[in-house]
Chain A
Amino acid sequence: MNAHVTRRARRNRKPLRAYLLPALVYCLLIIGVLIVVIPLMWAAAASFTPNHKVFEYAYPFSWRALLPVDFTLEAYENIFARGFGQSITNTLFLAFVTVFVGGAANALAGFAFGRFEFRGKNALFMVIVMLTFLVPVDLTAIPRYILINNFGWINTWQGLLVPGLANSLVIFLFRQFFAEIPQELIDAARVDGASWLRVLWSIVLPISKPVLVAAGLLMFISQWNSFFWPLLVAPRQELRVVQVEISLAVGQYGTIWNELLAGSMIAAIVPILLVMPFQRYYVQAITGTGLE
């Protein structure tokens, strides 16, 4: 009889386990997702709620805290009336210029490091990459601030822009990708008399979509999210970027939570919308560099 029971148990166990394990996996994943999503949902809902009701459903907690039940655009209207739109335009402008100008500089350098042989190449590459990894931003921030000040670039676009142009991670990406392009492709163009710049532009770049997308995303998001340098170098109202605008609102209008969260939601939605569709490239690029 014992043998009979165990046999039955064994026969039953398999399908049960086959369901149980995935169910457990999904449960744990859902908990993980909730930990990510609940704070964001609450913040989004609160940004659409009148300020005096922001905490109404949080205490005692109910699901209403996660949905904008008292829907209003008041917070958004207020921050835009106070000039939040200006900071969005500023940041978008900065981010796009960084992507194109910085992208060009980094791609050219990446091409040279990936395709050319020249004296001191590896040493130079190590110095450029290592310096940026090792040196804390704060250490260089003071002398850099002084340098920018000597140029008369405090409270100017140049002062905001230039430090974000060179990006070691992006050079790394380009170098890696360009080094793997087959030599025959490049030789063929060279035999036809194309200049190196022409080779880069019409042979290499068209087949480099993944790395271009990844590099563009990295630079765009890091500029969109940049905060301390703009705070330091361009405090003037007309040059404010999104993150600085939000952080200053904490001090000035500390209690107006719905406006603070409305600004945060706008600051959050841009990178989210950008990264979602292109996440694959982003990850590929970063794992690629990590494994080098």
Chain B
Amino acid sequence: MAVLTQQKPTTVIEKLSDEIWRKKFLRNVIIPWVFIAPLLIIHIFVVAIPAVQGVYMSMTDWGGINPNVNFIGLDNYHELLFEDKSFGKSLNNNIVWMLFFLTVPFILALFCASMLAQIKRGGMLYRSILFIPYVLASVVTTTIWKNLLNPKDGIVAASARALGIEGFEVAFLGRTDTALMSIAFIDNWHFWGFLMILFLAAMQAIPPVLYDAAKIDGANRWQEFRHVTLPGIRPIVLFMFMMVAIWSFLAFDYIWLITQGGPGGASEVIATQLYKNAFQRFEAGYAAAQGVVISIFAGFIIMIFVMLRRRGWDI
């Protein structure tokens, strides 16, 4: 009702009011839905229906191909959370992954952005170059890095040896203790520039007056960063914290393209397990349950942020 009262029909003649009502109906109901319709139809078929079906599938023992489907309630979840030991291991890797991405790229990006913000000459060139890896496809990035990390004649091992540094002639991607971190390193090589550009844009939006005021108060560079820059870019940093935390639970493409979760499950995460269950082991129902669990984790993270915001955090 409230939506219909944008203009007051006080001076309108009785006869016209019917037509006006029709126009309002057109403006407030028909036209908006006509505008949204194309997108909504696509969205319903591409996301909404599959999501609902996915949740239903997670409560069945369906394999993925055969038409034989039995409703088994929460059995898949029970197995996943209480019996499947590999799930705990994958979840653990997801959390390691998250801790890596909540620290390393953020520190790099903050550091680099605050340096770039001071630069007057060539800043744009640096920015552009550091942003390049972000627009590369995962297939391209992983192809190049698998090569560079080749223990025998990859550039990393070769240049480390040329510089006299030992310990780099290692099959980083083929060892259980280094695989996950090496993939995280490669993914980060691709990702951190994006973060840096976002932070830099936010830093440049801080009014210069604030820096002048800080200088007059005799602040040193660190104090300037701490009391002017950081508060200024806080919203975007916190927002990216949330997004990165969510993405960490969805992490898939780099891991799949480089090791497929190997060696020996060392880089297995929930999403790679899901993919294997769905498309290789044909346990679609079980895979769907894993997908729902990922969504719940992601939803949980969003909830935390919404709650912090309600508590008065300026996010």
Chain A residues with CB under 8 Å of chain B are 22, 25-26, 28-29, 32-33, 35-40, 42-43, 46, 55, 58-61, 65, 104-106, 108-109, 111-113, 116-119, 121, 124, 128, 130-144, 146-147, 162-163, 165-166, 171, 196, 221, 224-225, 227-228, 232, 243, 246-247, 250, 257, 260-261, 264, 267-268, 271-272, 274-276, 279, 283-284, 286-287, 290-291
Contacts and interface: CB of A to CB of B under 8 A. Distances in A.
30 contacts: A29-B112, A32-B112, A35-B189, A39-B189, A42-B144, A104-B38, A105-B39, A108-B39, A117-B3, A121-B32, A124-B36, A124-B40, A133-B298, A136-B274, A136-B291, A136-B298, A139-B294, A142-B64, A142-B284, A143-B54, A166-B46, A221-B135, A227-B139, A261-B147, A264-B144, A267-B136, A267-B140, A279-B128, A283-B197, A283-B198
Nearest to A217: B135
A272 B133 CA distance: 9
Contact of B202 (A35, A264, A287): A287
Contacts of A38: 155
Contact of B115 (A28, A128, A132): A28
A36 B192 CA distance: 11
Contacts of B140: 243, 246, 264, 267-268
B299 interface: yes
Interface in B135-169: 135-140, 143-145, 147-148, 152-155, 157-159, 161-162
Contact of A247 (B32, B45, B50, B139): B139
Contact of A286 (B32, B198, B292): B198
Contact of B54 (A28, A142, A163): A142
B143 A260 contact: yes
Contacts of B128: 276, 279
Interface residues of B, number: 91
Nearest to B287: A142
B interface majority secondary structure: helix
B175 interface: no
B219 interface: no
Given A138-B275, A264-B139, A275-B135, A25 B119 contact: yes
Contacts of A267: 136-137, 139-140
B35 A109 contact: yes
A207 B201 CA distance: 23
A28 B131 CA distance: 16
B255 interface: no
Interface stretch (B79-87, B98-106, B245-253): B245-253
Among A116, A171, A196, the most chain B Cβ lie within 10 Å of the Cβ of A116
A108 B223 CA distance: 47
Given A139-B51, A272-B132, A291-B239, 15 more contacts: A42-B144, A43-B143, A61-B158, A116-B27, A136-B271, A142-B288, A143-B49, A166-B47, A196-B31, A224-B137, A243-B137, A243-B140, A246-B140, A264-B143, A283-B201
A interface majority secondary structure: helix
B35 A108 contact: yes
Nearest to A291: B235
A290 B147 contact: no
Given A25-B119, A32-B130, A109-B36, A139 B257 contact: no
Contacts of A171: 39
A112 B112 CA distance: 39
A214 B283 CA distance: 40
B315 to A, nearest CB: 10
A144 B42 CA distance: 12
